């Protein structure tokens, strides 16, 4: 299995557990993280060494990326897996899929690249080199069938498994109402967005602002940001505990937007990236929204503050609504309930995916 970031490590860990439950003797070697290792897989390379985001950042780290790809191919050839399971992380994993098919390996892709948003022509190559494509968003099965005559398998969203399995065990982080800050998992995105998010702490002194630290980053990375603001703190490895206690959340676009919604926490989605990367992406990506919540529901359920719109004034206005307008948040929570129902129609995504993978053996 190959997962290249924190969300892939989470989905991969639940997939490993499901496979081990169905076939306990299965040997699983992976590129992933602490969660996949704890679930019973042998981690060869940690995702913290793989995560680069944005066009400019990828170019700057191209040598490292190419070196990782070469090492990955060598490792796969030595191990000779019965099935290669690629989890999200398309920039890396699609290259591996194309190569692996030429080596005669069976390839399963779990969590489809978002080709419905940009680079749809990649589907031609995907059809040729992926033996089984497992998708996790309700609209994807129809999209691939209608546009590319490709039968893919919808298994449900693995985040619903992760959230449903969670049981709170920690005491309250604060006597004040909590605002959770989920600033992402990569250094460059955190450096850009976290300072703006933390400005809200002085605007809402009666609340405690708590940052969810990324699993792959050291705690001292966050200290310079937090020291500048009162009533702020941070937790590591306790994101779900934090969301279970939060009154509202400031969330970087990505998987975290969906996790926050599944916990029923009113949120505002924040995105501010490298200006060059953003301008390129804006011209290439053809979707009406950037958050999974809005994309799945096909309408604006949560407010998205993107690039220049993500500033202290606009963020203050939206957070004020989330904390003080019950009608606004109740409407949002009703949409969250509909969202959860859509994602759980197929039952456990991890179990469904595990069955599909084990059928390949």
Quick one: which of 151, 140, 168, 154 has its CA closest to 344?
154
Q: Give the separation between CA 59 and CA 54, rounded to whole angstroms.
A: 9
Instruction: Please say whether the beta carbons of 218 and 201 come within 8 A.
Output: no
Query: For residue 206, which of 247, 265, 171 has the smallest C-alpha distance?
Result: 247
Residue 59 makes CB contacts below 8 A (sequence gap 6+) with none
Q: Which domains does the chain have, with CATH numbers?
A: 2-156+346-358 (3.40.50.2000), 165-343 (3.40.50.2000)
pLDDT tens digits along 100-158: 999 999 999 999 998 998 889 999 999 999 999 999 999 999 999 999 999 999 999 99
pLDDT in the model for residue 334: 98
Q: Extract the residue ranges of the chain whose pLDDT is less than 50.
A: none
The answer to whether residues 82 and 106 touch, using CB atoms and an 8 Å cutoff, is yes
Average pLDDT, the chain: 92
Measured between alpha carbons, how far is 273 from 137 in angstroms, rounded to an integer? 25
Predicted pLDDT of residue 50: 65
Q: List helix spans (H) across the chain.
A: 6-22, 34-39, 55-60, 62-79, 90-102, 122-129, 140-148, 158-165, 187-198, 200-203, 223-226, 239-245, 255-262, 275-284, 292-297, 312-324, 326-343, 349-358
Q: What pLDDT sits at residue 118?
A: 82
Report pLDDT for 61.
65
């Amino acid at each position: 299995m190959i997962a290249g970031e924190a969300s892939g490590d989470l989905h991969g860990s639940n997939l490993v557990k499901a496979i081990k439950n169905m076939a306990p003797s299965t040997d699983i070697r992976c590129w992933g993280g602490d969660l996949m290792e704890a679930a019973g897989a042998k981690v060869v390379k940690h995702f913290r060494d793989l995560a680069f985001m944005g066009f400019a950042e990828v170019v700057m780290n191209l040598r490292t990326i190419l070196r990782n790809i070469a090492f990955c191919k060598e490792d796969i050839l030595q191990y000779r897996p019965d099935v290669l399971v690629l989890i999200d992380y398309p920039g890396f994993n699609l290259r591996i899929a194309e190569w692996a098919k030429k080596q005669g390996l069976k390839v399963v892709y779990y969590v489809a690249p978002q080709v419905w948003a940009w680079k749809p022509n990649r589907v031609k190559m995907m059809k040729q080199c992926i033996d089984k494509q497992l998708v996790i968003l309700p609209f994807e099965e129809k999209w691939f069938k209608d546009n590319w005559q490709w039968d893919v398998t919808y298994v449900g969203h693995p985040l619903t498994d992760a959230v449903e399995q969670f049981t709170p065990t920690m005491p309250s982080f604060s006597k004040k109402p909590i605002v959770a800050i989920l600033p992402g998992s990569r250094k460059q995105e955190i450096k850009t967005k976290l300072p703006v998010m933390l400005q809200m702490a002085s605007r809402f002194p009666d609340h405690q602002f708590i940052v969810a630290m990324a699993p792959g980053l050291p705690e001292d990375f966050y200290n310079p940001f937090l020291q500048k603001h009162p009533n702020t703190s941070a937790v590591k490895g306790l994101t779900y505990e934090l969301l279970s206690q939060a009154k509202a959340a400031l969330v970087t676009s990505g998987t975290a937007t969906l996790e926050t919604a599944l916990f029923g926490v009113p949120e505002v989605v924040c995105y501010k990236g490298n200006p060059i990367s953003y301008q390129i992406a804006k011209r290439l990506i053809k979707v009406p929204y950037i958050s999974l919540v809005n994309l799945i529901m096909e309408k604006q359920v949560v407010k998205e503050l993107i690039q220049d719109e993500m500033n202290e004034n606009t963020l203050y206005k939206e957070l004020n609504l989330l904390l003080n307008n019950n009608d606004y948040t109740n409407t949002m929570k009703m949409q969250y309930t509909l969202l959860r129902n859509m994602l759980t129609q197929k039952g456990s995504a991890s179990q469904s995916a595990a069955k599909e993978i084990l059928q390949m053996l």
